[in-house]
Amino acid sequence: MMLKLNDPVTKLSGVGPQLASKLERVHVRTVQDVLFHLPHRYEDKTTVSPIGALLPEMSSVVIGKIDLAQVVFGRRRSLLVKISDGTGSLTIRMFHFNRAQEKSFQRGLWVRAFGEARRGAKGLELIHPEYRVSADEPQGGLDTTLTPVYPTTDGVSQLLWRKLSDQVLSSAFTDLNELIDRRCLPPQMQQAYEAASLQQALATLHRPNADLNMAAMQQANSAAHQRLIMEELLAHHFSLRKTKDLRGRDRAPVLEPDQSVNQRFLANLSFSLTGAQQRVCKEVTEDLMTQTPTMRLVQGDVGSGKTVVAAMAMLQAASCHVQTVLMAPTELLAEQHFQTLSAWFNELGIEVGWLASKTPAKQKRDTIARLANGELLVAVGTHALIQEAVDYRLLGLVVIDEQHRFGVEQRLALRAKTPKGQVPHQLVMTATPIPRTLAMTFYADLDVSSIDELPPGRKAVETVVIPAQSRRDEVIQRVLAACQQGRQVYWVCPLIEESEALEAQAATDTAEELSDALKSLNVGLVHGRLKPKDKEQVMARFRAGELDLLVATTVIEVGVDVPNASLMVIENAERMGLAQLHQLRGRVGRGREQSFCILLYHTPLSQHARERLKTLRETNDGFVIAQKDLEIRGAGELLGTRQTGSISFKVADLIRDQHLLPSVEGSAKKLLKLTPQHVDALIERWVGSKENYVNA
């Protein structure tokens, strides 16, 4: 059959409307989408491994004779089947099984199984492997290529993906054009292009020959991989640039600053702006004076003073009688901004509204009504600002603090909030700096400003790493000593991801323990389960210096600002990520005193945890930490759904392929010059319909 790339998937045999709608869920609509729907990993079923040669985390085919099969009742009922092949033995373990399966495993029969070996209590285990039981020793039946595993969705099996990709791979396309002129690429990349045509490269990724070993496929350094990765990186880069260009067609209100209001604002501050703050304020001011909607990321390390920059921008909007909101990811942080901004703005006769999901209904209705009729010019809050049925009279500026918690969906929701034809300016504040190469390539749609200077007199926080089991008492004594010198202390309890309730309980227990051990101190407690009013009351008392020690869960991760606090203890620091620890640590070191951070950990430490703690001990520099974070953790999280909500790659991996990033921008420039007519097709091919989502 002759297929064209633009044919709908229903052209493929076996694809009806029902399957087509399932494929739509993974953005596969056309034949081209199937061709570019690439495996995200491979399984090697081309050879049989001796059981004795298996290592944990290895996925292999094994063949063995059943020595024993039994149902055991441990914490969970499970079926255990012990098999051996003369080189060693392992256990197949199943938690879900029926009578027929249970009976099929008979001592003396043969099993061929494929799965990932895991370390069990008594040697290696395969949990729910693919398997087949036979009376005779299985022969042959091995695959001749590595088995591709495709990203998928409910109701579309791997077998089905293989059938679909078989069809497109066997079609001779006349319209599978090379969209990249290789002269625009760096020399080593040009070689990759000579070594494999687009069609060959795609075939290699879909059906790798067994002689391409798994390691090579995983590292993705074949010519086939390299050229596809480069194309994908370029396509995303172009897509973001296009988003930015499209934004140029939208209109936002032109906001002229009022110099006399600005001067009054600055005169009221208890400090003067740092050079970096002044520079960034100027960049933002100029953005807001244009009718192109601003989309600027303001990055600055914790404590660099982003709030005042946001406030100046909001003042610019309010001076023009245009509405502006500040959104923060947590209620605690939003409340603090509310207080800071109220203090600054009320002096200038500007009222600040407050809106969060837990705000009492009557007050909420009132605020919403006053936002709708334009009486309120400034509001601070959480997502409630966009989730509730709020209609703004004229929303001109949105400031989002600690942006890594906001996804694209929220940004889009915001756009929908504005009257037709008007798009608000957006300012996103983040303390997680984005390494330069990434920023140039993958934030091509944002303008970036950096507050790269801390307010004067700040001393770097001194960080120590201490095993909790043996030296907890010593740490408690240090807390006492700090408080006796008039300082205040945070004690951060472990992160328990699965359960806010358990986390709250752990914090409550710790607060009790510390109150008992430190009878002379006033101890406060905040956690996510407290009523907002109670939470705010505790925070207010801590800020006022009435509490010496604040026991908290990671709810205080972002933004909380109490300059007199000079010691922070973090329990189970080994469970937290680098960025999170850096954020937490940023709660101290805000005053003139030397501050300390004590990271308590429990052994044994994983390799990554050890590296994270070491990094924190060695540096306070947010940029260095972000780079390290990128290396240790992978770009997935940094850039993934949490941050952009849109970028997911088919073959590229921003960590593994970071050596390619520096050449993306330059190559893109050359391509734009030489073959601008191919750019849209390239985006369509690699980013496809997701682009609509970004541009929506």
Contacting positions for ligand ADP (CB under 6 A): 271, 273-274, 277, 300, 302-308, 431, 455, 559, 561, 563, 590
Pick 167 or 304: Cβ nearer Mg ion? 304
Q: Per-residue string for binding with Mg ion, 66-105, x by CB under 5 A?
A: ----------------------------------------
Q: How far is the CB of 560 from ligand ADP (least distance, A)?
A: 9
CB of 525 to ligand ADP, least distance (A): 23
- Cα 635 to Cα 644: distance, rounded to the nearest angstrom: 12
- CB-count burial class (<10 Å; 0-12, 13-18, 19+) for 267: exposed
Q: Using CB distances below 5 to 8 A depending on partner kind, what does residue 308 bind out of Mg ion, ligand ADP, none? A: ligand ADP
- Could you tell me the smallest distance in angstroms from the CB atom of residue 594 to Mg ion? 22
Cβ 302 vs Cβ 561: under 8 Å:
no
Cis ω before 253 (30° cut-off from 0): no
Considering only residues 541 to 570 of the shown chain, the ones binding Mg ion according to CB under 5 A are 559
**Nearest CB to ligand ADP, comparing residues 432 and 627:** 432
- Give the Cα separation of 667 and 440 in Å (integer): 13
Size of the chain, expressed as the number of residues it contains: 696
Q: How far apart (Å, rounded) are the C-alpha atoms in residues 248 and 444?
A: 14
Q: Which does 535 bind (CB under 5 to 8 A by kind): Mg ion, ligand ADP, none?
A: none
Q: Which is nearer to ligand ADP, 60 or 580 (CB)?
A: 580
- Other beta carbons within 10 Å of 513: 15
Among candidate residues 433, 482, 444, 694, the one with its CA nearest the CA of residue 596? 482
- In angstroms, the Cα distances linking 438 to 94, 244, 402, 630, 675 are 43, 17, 18, 10, 24
Residue sitting closest to Mg ion (CB)? 559
| Residue 11, CA distances (Å) to 15, 25, 30, 208, 418 in order | 7, 18, 9, 26, 41
Pick from Mg ion, ligand ADP, none: which does 277 bind, CB < 5 to 8 A by kind? ligand ADP
Q: Which is closer to ligand ADP, CB of 93 or CB of 306?
A: 306
591 binds, among ligand ADP, Mg ion, none (CB under 5 to 8 A by kind): none
Q: What pairs with residue 465 in β-bridges?
A: 599
| H or E element in which residue 23 lies | helix 17-24
The interface partner of residue 273, options being Mg ion, ligand ADP, none and the CB cut-off 5 to 8 Å by kind, is ligand ADP
Q: How far is the CB of 431 from ligand ADP (least distance, A)?
A: 6
Nearer to ligand ADP, 591 or 636 (CB): 591
Task: Give min distance, CB of 582 to Mg ion, in A.
Answer: 13
Residue of closest CB approach to ligand ADP: 305
Q: Binding to Mg ion by residue 305, rule CB under 5 A? A: no
Q: How many residues bind Mg ion (CB under 5 A)?
A: 1
When CB distances are held under 5 to 8 angstroms depending on the partner's kind, the choice from ligand ADP, Mg ion, none that residue 524 binds is none
Residue 646 interacting entry, from ligand ADP, Mg ion, none, C-beta within 5 to 8 Å by type: none
Nearest to 62 by CA among 34, 90, 39: 90
Order across the sheet with 295-300: list the strands.
352-355, 378-381, 323-327, 395-401, 425-430, 295-300, 447-451
Q: Do the beta carbons of residue 65 and residue 85 sit within 8 Å?
A: yes
Q: CA–CA separation, 505 vs 124, rounded Å?
A: 36
Q: Give whichever of 50 and 455 is closer to ligand ADP, judged by the CB atom.
A: 455
The nearer residue to ligand ADP, 253 or 305, going by C-beta atoms, is 305
Q: Which is nearer to ligand ADP, 276 or 479 (CB)?
A: 276
Contact by Cβ (8 Å): 426, 250: no
In angstroms, what is the minimal distance from the CB of 308 to ligand ADP? 5
Residue 305 contact among ligand ADP, Mg ion, none, beta carbon within 5 to 8 Å by kind: ligand ADP
Q: Which is nearer to Mg ion, 583 or 615 (CB)?
A: 583
Residues that bind Mg ion (CB under 5 A): 559
